[in-house]
Each structure stands twice: as C-alpha cells, then as structure tokens.
Structure 1
Amino acid sequence: MSTTLIWTIVLVIAVIVEAITIDLVSIWFGIGAIGALICDFLGIHEVVQVIVFAAISIICILVTRPLAKKYLRGNTVKTNLDRIIGKHCLVTEVITADQKGEVKVMGNLWAATSLNNVTIPAGEYAEVVSIEGSHVVVKKLDKGEDISC
C-alpha cells in the first residue's frame, strides 16, 4: 500500500471521528496527516513523514487544545440543587460525627453531615458547603457571621 493512500486514510478517519464526536479529539491527527501528505508529494522518506505527522499532531494538541477547551466548554448551568450551596441553614436535628442530622435550607429539609465531623446542635445555624448524594455537608457558622436563611 502506498504512503499516499495511508496518509489519506488517516486523514479521512480523523475527519470522520471528529465529525461524529464534535469534541476535538482527532482533528490534530488530520492536520498531521496533511503535513505527512505534503511530505509524501515532495518525495520525502517515509520515516520523515511519520516524524512530521507526529510533530505536527503534538504541536497542534499542545497549542490549541487548552484554548479550545476554554472557549468551547459553554456555560455551565446550575441546577436548582446547586443554588443552595453557600446558603445558610437552621439545624433542626443534631449533627454528630457518627450520625446525620437534619437542616432546613430555603424551606426544605435535608439530611446533613458536618464538615470535619464537628457536632452541631439543633437550633444552631450553619452554611451549606456541598451536596453529597442525597445529603448536604454543612459547616457551623461563627456567632459573628450574618445569619439569614
């Protein structure tokens, strides 16, 4: 099989994979294959063609992938659950290191554990740090912090 055919097949496969995934996973190999095809048309040895293919592909990945990921990521839309992170809540059942408690956040009751397994008694206020599965992780608010649930 001729090297022209091989580089053409690599180029076509890279373009097809890129068209199917639209995630910028193979376009760089297509660009590398174009460089190798140019070398083939100029009559350059096959070993150099492979080196040109690899070099162009790697350079394209290193230069463009971070930029592409940054600009093509899109906006992350928070779900309704994400909006409770950072909100203050009232502890309605004591939270201990060994047992989940319960907190009221924005009018809803959640099972809760405390950050660093600190005991938080009922009636205290806390801040939601994260959501883990079906419960929230909270940290106890200091006395001087603004308490608004």
Structure 2
Amino acid sequence: MSITLVWTIILVIAVIVEAITIDLVSIWFGIGAIAALICHFFGVGEVLQIVIFAIVSIVCIVASRPLAKKYLRGNTVKTNLDRMIGKHCLVTERITADQKGEVKVMGNLWSATSLNNETIQIGDYAEVISIEGSHVVVKKINKGDDTSC
C-alpha cells in the first residue's frame, strides 16, 4: 500500500467522522493528513511525513479547538438558578465529606456539599460554587467577608 493511499484514507475517514459528529473531533487529523500528503508530493521521507502529520494535528488541536468549541457550543440557556453561583450563604446543617448538609441561599434552603470535602459547621458562611442536580456545591468563606444570604 502506498503512503499516498494511507494519507488519503486517513483524510477521508477524518472527514467522514467529522461529518457524522459535527463536534470538531477529527478535522484536525484531516488537516494533518493534507500536510503529510503535501510533504509526500515534495519528496519528503515517510518518517518525516508521519512526524509532520502528528505535529500539524497537535498544533491544530491546541490552537483552534478551544476557540471553536466556544463559538460552536450553540445556544446555552441560562436559568434563574445560575444567579446563585457566587452568592454567599449560611450553613444551616453541618456539611461533611460523607454527608450532605444544608445552606440558606437567597432565602431558600438547599442541600449542599463542600467543594474540597471539608467540614463546614452550622453558622459558618460559604460561597456557592456550582449547582449539581438538586444540590449546591459550596466553599467555606470567612465570616466577615459577606453575610448576605
């Protein structure tokens, strides 16, 4: 099997997978295969073609995937719950690594776990880091930072 056929097969497979998934998972390898094909036509050796394929693919992934994911993510619908993230809350039931506790945030009681599995006592203040299902993840803060719950 010639190396031209190998690069062409890789290119075709990458394009087909990309067309099926439309999630930017394989197009980078297609670009790497194109670079390797160009090198082949200029008489570059097979080992160097493989190296160029790998380097071009990795550079494309590192350089453009995060940017592409940001713009191709689609419409993210925010809910009213998103406004709780970053708010400070009062711990009303002790939170431990093994057991969920409870916090009062924005006037409502929520089940809560701590961010780093630390124990947070009743009466301590915490900050809402995220919402996971039906409970919030909180991080302990100093009592003097903010008492608006």
TM-score by length of 1: 0.63
Bigger Cα displacement from structure 2, 43-52 vs 10-19: 43-52
Aligned to 2:128: 129
Aligned to 1:95: 93
Q: How far has the Cα of 1:79 moved from its partner?
A: 2.9
Aligned to 1:58: 58
Looking at structure 2, the residues matched to 132 and 31 of structure 1 have their Cα atoms a distance apart, in angstroms, of 38
What does 1:1-149 align with in structure 2 at a 5 Å threshold? 1-73=1-73, 76-87=76-87, 94-96=92-94, 105-106=105-106, 108-112=108-112, 117-120=119-122, 129-130=128-129, 131=131, 133-136=133-136, 137=138, 142=143, 145=146, 147=148
Aligned in 2, Cα 1:27/1:128: closer, same or farther, shift over 3 Å?
Answer: same
Aligned in 2, Cα 1:16/1:106: closer, same or farther, shift over 3 Å?
Answer: same
Give the SS at the match of 1:110: strand
Aligned in 2, Cα 1:3/1:84: closer, same or farther, shift over 3 Å?
Answer: same
The share of aligned pairs that are identical, in percent, is: 69
Bigger Cα displacement from structure 2, 107-116 vs 26-35: 107-116
Deviations 1:83-137 (A, max 9, x none): 333446677xx5335786655545644345688544435xxx9565244553444
Larger Rg: 1
Looking at structure 2, the residues matched to 65 and 25 of structure 1 have their Cα atoms a distance apart, in angstroms, of 9
Looking at structure 2, the residues matched to 144 and 60 of structure 1 have their Cα atoms a distance apart, in angstroms, of 44
> Residue type of the partner of 2:49?
Q
Kindly report the root-mean-square deviation, in angstroms, between the aligned alpha carbons of the 2 structures.
3.7
Give the SS at the match of 2:6: helix
- Between Structure 1 and Structure 2, how many residues are aligned? 143
Bigger Cα displacement from structure 2, 129-138 vs 57-66: 129-138
